[in-house]
Amino acid sequence: MEKFRQFVVFLGAAALLGSLSVVIVVIWVLHWRGGLAWDYGLLEFNWHPVLSTTGLIFINGFGIIIYRLPWTWNIRKPLMKYIHAGMNIVTFVLMVISLLAVFDFHNSKKIPNMYSLHSWIGLAAVIMHALQLLLGLCTFLLPCTPTFIRTFYMSFHVGVGLFIFGMSVTAAEMGITEKLIFSLRSGSNTTLPYSQSPPEAILVNTLGVFILLFGGCILWIAIHPEWKRPPEHLKENVGGEDASILNKTNVSAEIGNENIPEGIERLRHLHFEDVGQRATF
Amino acid sequence: MEKFRQFVVFLGAAALLGSLSVVIVVIWVLHWRGGLAWDYGLLEFNWHPVLSTTGLIFINGFGIIIYRLPWTWNIRKPLMKYIHAGMNIVTFVLMVISLLAVFDFHNSKKIPNMYSLHSWIGLAAVIMHALQLLLGLCTFLLPCTPTFIRTFYMSFHVGVGLFIFGMSVTAAEMGITEKLIFSLRSGSNTTLPYSQSPPEAILVNTLGVFILLFGGCILWIAIHPEWKRPPEHLKENVGGEDASILNKTNVSAEIGNENIPEGIERLRHLHFEDVGQRATF
C-alpha cells in the first residue's frame, strides 16, 4: 500500500478527533446544558447534537472509509457491504431520533421549524442519506440487481455520499453556532455571554474545530485512489499465495514501500479506468 | 477527456452557482443591509460578506480548478502558474480588506473580536491561505527551487489547498447563520425576525445553499484524476501533430469517448504514481 504511514496518520487522527467530538458533545450537554431526558423541553433538545454528532458525523464518516482499512481486505466483499450498510442504518435510526427530539422541542415551545440555514442543509442531508441508503440497499445488496446497474450507479453513490458527509459537517458547524448564540445570550442565566468567551464557548468552539478536522481526515482518506480496497477479481486472480500476502499488508507496508511484496505491488498498479467503478474512489 | 459532459455540467454549475452567490450577496447588502461604505459601522461591515464570497469562495474556488480547463491545456504551464498565483494574490488582497472591515466594525462598536466558531475557522482559513500562497510562490515560481522540493511539497500544497477551500465554505455558512440571527432579531427594525422566515432570510439561506453546492462542484472537479491537465513532458513527447490535437480536446471529447483521437487516449493513460505529483490531483 502506497504511503501507508500517511494513511495510518490520517486514520488515527480521524479516530481520535471523531471520538473526542462525541465525548465533548456529551460533556457539553451533561455539564452545561442540564443533561438528557425526553421531556419535550431543552433536555430533549440535547439529544439532537449528541445523536447527530454520533450518527451523521462519526458513524457515517467511518462508514465511508470502512472499505479502505487494509485489515479488512481479507474479509469477503459481501460481508463488508453488510457492515457498510449496517453503519448507515444505525446512522439513519439515530438521525430519526435526533430530528424527533428537535421537532418535539420546537413544537412544545412554539418555535417555528425549518427556518434556519442549519435546518435546511441538515434536513436535506438526512433525507439524502435516507434515499442513498435505500438506493444503495436495492442496488448493491439485492442479488437480482444487474451488474450494469451497479456499475452505472456506483460513481453517483460515491459522489453523493461524500457530498452528504460534507453537508453534515457544515450543518454541525452551523448548529453549534446557533446553539451557542441562543443559549449564551447577554442577560441569560449564564455568567458570561458568547461574546465574552466563557469556558463553555471555548470548549464547544473546539468541538467545531475537531469536527471540521475529522471531516477533512475522512475526505482525505476517501479521495485517495491508491488507498482503495483492491478489486475482488484481482484478489481472486492473484491466487492463494498472493491472497495470503493481503493478510500481511499492514505488516509489510509498515516496513516501507521498497519492501512491499510483489503481490501487493501488482494490486496497487490499478488503472485510472477503475476510478469511480468501486465503492470509494 | 473522459466523462467530458460530466465535467462540463459540473463546471457550468460551478460558474452559475458561484456567480449567483456573488450577485445575491451584493443584493443582500445593498437592498436589505443599507449598502456599502467605509464608515467604521454596519455599512463597512457589509464589505466582509461581499469580499469574502468573492475572494475566498469564488476566486479561490476557480483558482483551484484552473488547471483542469481543457481550453487552457495548450497554454504553457509557467503562464498557468502565474494565473493560478494571480488569482490567489487577488483572493489574499480581498480577504485583507474583508478582515479590516469586520475588525474596524467590531472595534468601533466595542464588540469583542475572535470569539465565535465562524471567526476561529474563518481567520484560520485566511492565515493558512496566506502561508499557502507564500510557500507556493517560493516553491513553484522561484526558478532556483530544486525539483525534489517541488515534488515533495506538491501533494501537501494540493491537500492543504482543498482543506482551506472547505474551511472557507464552512466559515461562510456560519457567517450567514450569525449575521441573520444578529440582524433579524425579534424587536429589531425589521418587520419579521429570522424565525418567521422574512424574504431576506429566504434569499440569504438560498445564498448559503448555493455556496455549499458551488463548493461541492469545485471539489468534485478537483478530486477527479481523469480531469487533470496532462503532464508537460507527455505533452512535449507527443510532438507537434498530437500537441495540436490538444487544442481540439473540447471538440473531440464532446463527440464521445469512442471518437477521442489516439493522442488524447495516450495522454489520459496516466499512472497512479502521477497522483499527487502535480497541481491538482
From A73-82, A183-192, A248-257, the region with the lowest mean pLDDT = A248-257
Mutation for testing the A interface, residue in B57, B151, B170 having most A CBs under 10 Å: B170
| Residue A206 CA: distances (Å) to CA of A24, A182, B121, B207 | 9, 18, 10, 27
Name the H helices within B113-238.
Answer: 117-136, 147-183, 199-222, 232-237
From A46-60, B39-53, B253-267, the region with the lowest mean pLDDT = B253-267
Tens of pLDDT along B207-217? 999 999 999 99
Work out the pLDDT band at A241, boundaries 50, 70, 90: very low
**Contact criterion met (CB < 8 Å) for A212 and B180:** no
| Min Cα separation A141/chain B (Å) | 26
For the question of an ipTM over 0.90, the answer is no
* Cell (9 digits) for A246: 493481503
**Nearest C-alpha in B relative to A118:** B177
From A77-81, A130-134, B194-198, B254-258, the region with the lowest mean pLDDT = B254-258
Give the number of C-alpha atoms closer than 13 A to the C-alpha of residue B236, restricted to the C-beta side.
Answer: 5
Work out the pLDDT band at B2, boundaries 50, 70, 90: confident
Work out the pLDDT band at A249, boundaries 50, 70, 90: very low
The conformation of residue B58, written as its DSSP 8-state character, comes to I
| Min Cα separation A62/chain B (Å) | 19
Q: Which residues of B touch A112 (CB under 8 A)?
A: 195-197
Q: Which of B116, B118, B208 sits opposite A117 (nearest CB)?
A: B208
| Min Cα separation A175/chain B (Å) | 9
Percent of chain B with pLDDT over 90: 77
Checking A76-79 for CB contacts under 8 A at 24+ apart, the result is A77/A229, A77/A232
How far apart CA A45 and CA A104 sit, in angstroms, is 8
- Residues in Cβ contact with B169 at an 8 Å cutoff, skipping those fewer than 6 apart: A170, B57, B211, B212, B214, B215
Tens of pLDDT along B77-133? 999 999 999 999 999 999 999 999 999 999 999 999 999 999 999 999 999 999 999
**Contact criterion met (CB < 8 Å) for B177 and A176:** no
Q: Which residues of A touch B169 (CB under 8 A)?
A: 170
A 10 A CB-CB count for B178 gives 19
Check pLDDT > 50 for residue B265.
Answer: no
**B1 alpha-carbon distance from chain centroid:** 23
Work out the pLDDT band at A234, boundaries 50, 70, 90: low
**Contact criterion met (CB < 8 Å) for B270 and A269:** no
